[in-house]
């Protein structure tokens, strides 16, 4: 058992499963404001029951964020989100279940299990001063309404623990690619495909040219992937299409590549006479450099010898805080897998260990002089 500092209560897997069931059974798809309000209220209730104090709902146009503070000078921000990718009705098809050492259900791994572990880990500590919890409502759709609040509290606290699910094998996440979505809209001119095709400007053909140009922007050797993912065009089978749209997923490992990609999209030019192109989007989440996690990961290794770290391609709100230069350690959430998929699961036996790791990190961050000397 990993040691933990000055516990008031030991951590209970049964109590964590109880709270995880409560949160999973309140469905919370991004952009469903009614569902997200109910979810935020459920998260706040769990926090208040386990930690005391008051969890405040912070209103936004994406739904309520939940903020709790242990008082005192801010020293550490525990960061997570309560929105999920699953539409209403998923729970009926895939109810919360505990079997064979795993908990399953929509959102258990991404990231309700991590929230529960963080709350119970903090409940173990005698001193919660300087600790804040921020649980946002829009991480799965870009964090547009929450980014400013995340950055404000991260800068105020000076250290961030992100309770997103662990990497494969339970590894912590010390680096993430920057990521973003671009939308390329093509405008042409409709005409009859049989009587006068030359009178039109074929937006689908222009979009095909653009897809090839866009795909050529990738540099996988240095971690830059540029992947057209969704395309649409046309109205009827005998009409030259007047409009087309291409959606592109972008991942980068460096700020230089972020700038190069954004400039390249801005410079896209039509191949067909009279075709027009409009580009929207950006690499909205900057890369999370591994340097931002180095100090905190060293503390985690002392608390849990043998724990590993890795860099991953997916983004989180930790990208924002790390890009500000705030020490940020990610992947502190549930051990499991299947994020965004029907086989999503959490390993129950790992939950207590991860809760104790949060408790130990919080204790270390509350005593920076002691941490620095270790």
Tell me which residues are annotated as active site: 83, 139
Cβ(321)–Cβ(328) under 8 Å? yes
Whose CA is closest to 151, among 364, 325, 363, 365? 325
Q: For every residue of the chain, which 3-state class applies, written as one string?
A: CCCCCCECCCCCHHHHHHHHHHHHCCCCECCCHHHHHHHHHHHHHHHHHHHCCCCEEECCCCCCEEEEECCCCCCEEEEEECCECCCCCHHHHCCCEEECCEEECCCHHHHHHHHHHHHHHHHCECCCCCEEEEEECCHHHCCCCCHHHHHHHHHHHCCEEECCCCCHHHCEEEEECEEEEEEEEEECECCECCCCHHHCECHHHHHHHHHHHHHCCCEHHHCEEEEEEEEEECCCCCECCCEEEEEEEEEECCHHHHHHHHHHHHCCCCCCCCCEEEEEEEEEECCECHHHHHHHHHHHHHHCCCCCEEEECCCCCHHHHHHCCCCEEECCCCCEECCCCCCCEEEHHHHHHHHHHHHHHHHHHHCHHHHHHC
**Pairing between β-strand 243-252 and β-strand 97-99 as defined by DSSP bridges:** unpaired
Paired tokens of 214? 């866009």
Between CA 97 and CA 120 the distance in angstroms is 20
């Amino acid at each position: 058992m990993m040691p933990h500092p000055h516990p008031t209560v030991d951590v209970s897997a049964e109590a964590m499963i109880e709270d995880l069931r409560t949160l999973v059974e309140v469905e919370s798809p991004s952009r469903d404001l009614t569902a997200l309000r109910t979810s935020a209220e459920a998260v706040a209730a769990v926090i208040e029951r386990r930690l005391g104090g008051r969890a405040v709902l912070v209103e936004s146009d994406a739904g309520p964020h939940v903020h709790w503070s242990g008082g005192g000078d801010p020293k550490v921000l525990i960061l997570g989100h309560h929105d999920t990718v699953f539409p209403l009705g998923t729970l009926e098809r895939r109810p919360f279940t505990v079997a064979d050492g795993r908990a399953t259900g929509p959102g258990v791994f991404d990231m309700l299990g991590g929230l529960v572990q963080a709350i119970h880990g903090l409940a173990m500590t005698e001193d919660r001063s300087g600790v804040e919890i921020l649980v946002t409502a829009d991480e799965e759709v870009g964090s547009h309404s929450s980014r400013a609040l995340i950055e404000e509290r991260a800068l105020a606290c000076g250290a961030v623990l992100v309770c997103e699910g662990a990497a494969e094998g339970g590894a912590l996440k010390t680096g993430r690619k920057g990521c973003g979505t671009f939308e390329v809209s093509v405008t042409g001119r409709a005409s009859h495909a049989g009587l006068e095709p030359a009178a039109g400007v074929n937006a689908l053909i222009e979009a095909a040219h653009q897809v090839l140009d866009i795909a050529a922007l990738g540099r996988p050797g240095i971690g830059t992937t540029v992947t057209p993912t969704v395309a649409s065009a046309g109205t009827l089978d005998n009409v030259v299409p007047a409009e087309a749209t291409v959606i592109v997923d972008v991942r980068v490992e460096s700020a230089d590549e972020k700038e190069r990609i954004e400039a390249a999209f801005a410079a896209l030019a039509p191949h067909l006479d009279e075709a027009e192109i409009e580009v929207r989007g950006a690499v909205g989440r900057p890369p999370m450099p591994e340097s931002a996690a180095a100090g905190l990961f060293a503390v985690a290794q002392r608390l849990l010898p043998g724990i590993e770290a890795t860099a991953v391609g997916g983004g989180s709100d930790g990208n924002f805080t790390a890009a500000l230069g705030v020490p940020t350690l990610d992947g502190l959430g549930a051990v499991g897998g299947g994020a965004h998929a029907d086989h999503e699961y959490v390993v129950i036996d790992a939950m207590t260990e991860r809760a104790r790791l949060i408790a130990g990190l919080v204790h270390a961050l509350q005593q920076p002089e002691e941490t620095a000397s270790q």
